[in-house]
Structure 1
């Protein structure tokens, strides 16, 4: 089972969720060879709850994941912490929404939850907790204390960072950090649109049908991690497309209403 553990549903935090846009995303994800993905939308994206309410109307949900044709979509969320890093949470939908309710007072910059408080909030829930892009210059994690980093389950090898900082150098950094902590490394495209799917992925030894099985497979390292040779081209094209789509969105928002 090929799964991408860091994906987004929207073009940006500022845009509304578009069912048509996401249907294209899901189709492209399946077309790229993925069997599953974790939807780790930003916890403070515009109208966060619209994402899951819309998915409930779009796809069958079996209590563990959405069934978008052949593609499994596991619920998740990406959380900003006060120390200036991001944590991916993946698990059952009710647990993701429970944590999101607890984060309601913490959605604005300057009010983000401290790392230790987020861990305390989630430690009794069977969530997979991944340290996102730990060496990204704008939102690093490697500066946290060792005892804090030890409380995470894995660390994210991120397609954007592999492209930005050099695949060999960034992978070596992330793998060295994880190895020093005795933690696995997982692959995530961090895509906001369709072109990055398949640039990195995790291939599990056995299909996972529950979030608990997924977490156990990661903890047991029962998977291989793949970085596609096409990653630089995919990410470069993705960055260019995202800029263009955001520009078009701004122009559409600025258009005056037609006169009657």
Structure 2
């Protein structure tokens, strides 16, 4: 099974959730060979709960994932922490929505949840915990307390960082760091729109039906990471299209977009 463990279902945090847009996203994910994605939308995106209201109205959910155009969609969330950094959490829909409710007091930058507190909360709900893009300049994780980092289940090999920093440069940072912590590395496209699907994927050697299946396969490293030969063009095209679409919607660029580099 080919699975992307870091994806978004909206163009941006400011955008409304659109079922038409999501249908297109899932159709493109399938065309790129994906069997499943983790929908790790930002926890402080506009109207987070509306995403699941929309998904419930359009796709069957079997208690573990949605079935959307032949793609399994595992619920998830991407959470900012106070110390700086993003943590991806993946689990059953009701648990993701419950943790989102508990995170409501922490949605503004001045009130982001401390890392240790988030880890405890995630464990309460038995969620898969992935450290997002540990060496991204704007939101690094590598500087955090090692005793907290080792409580994660994996670290994110992120397509945007592979593009911006270069594949070898990013992996030379991430791989020794993961080895030091004793954590596996998993791949995520970090896409907000369809062109970036397939830039990086995890090829699991067994069927994945539940988040527990996913967690065990990652823990036992029963998968391989595949990086597309077209990664640079996929990410560059995606970044450029996202900026154009946001401009058409009248949305301001994010800090990350203002800093974006157009050559890898």
TM-score, normalised to structure 1, is 0.95
Partner of 2:223: 223
Please report how far the alpha carbon of residue 69 of structure 1 lies from its aligned counterpart in structure 2 after TM superposition: 2.6
Map Cα deviations across residues 162-214 of structure 1 (whole Å, 9 max, x no partner).
00011101012111111111110000000000000000000000011111111
1:49 aligns with 2:49: yes
Please report how far the alpha carbon of residue 23 of structure 1 lies from its aligned counterpart in structure 2 after TM superposition: 0.3
Q: Secondary structure at the match of 1:155?
A: strand
The total of aligned residue pairs comes to 251
Q: Is the 8 A contact 1:126 1:212 kept in 2?
A: no
Q: Structure 2 unaligned runs (5+)?
A: 252-264
Please report how far the alpha carbon of residue 145 of structure 1 lies from its aligned counterpart in structure 2 after TM superposition: 1.1
Please report how far the alpha carbon of residue 139 of structure 1 lies from its aligned counterpart in structure 2 after TM superposition: 0.3
* Distance in 2 of aligned mates of 1:204 and 1:45: 30
Q: Secondary structure at the match of 2:49?
A: helix
Alignment of structure 1 residues 134-145 onto 2, 5 Å:
134-145=134-145
Please report how far the alpha carbon of residue 125 of structure 1 lies from its aligned counterpart in structure 2 after TM superposition: 2.3
Q: Secondary structure at the match of 1:201?
A: strand
Partner of 1:182: 182
Partner of 1:114: 114
Map Cα deviations across residues 89-136 of structure 1 (whole Å, 9 max, x no partner).
001111111111110000011100000010111223221100000000
Q: Secondary structure at the match of 2:119?
A: helix
* Distance in 2 of aligned mates of 1:124 and 1:49: 21
Alignment of structure 1 residues 228-243 onto 2, 5 Å:
228-243=228-243
Partner of 2:258: none
1:130 aligns with 2:161: no
RMSD: 0.8
Q: Structure 1 unaligned runs (5+)?
A: 252-260
* Distance in 2 of aligned mates of 1:11 and 1:69: 19
Partner of 1:91: 91
Partner of 2:255: none
Partner of 1:31: 31
Bigger Rg, structure 1 or 2: 1
Q: Secondary structure at the match of 1:67?
A: strand
TM-score, normalised to structure 2, is 0.94
* Distance in 2 of aligned mates of 1:122 and 1:23: 29
Partner of 2:165: 165
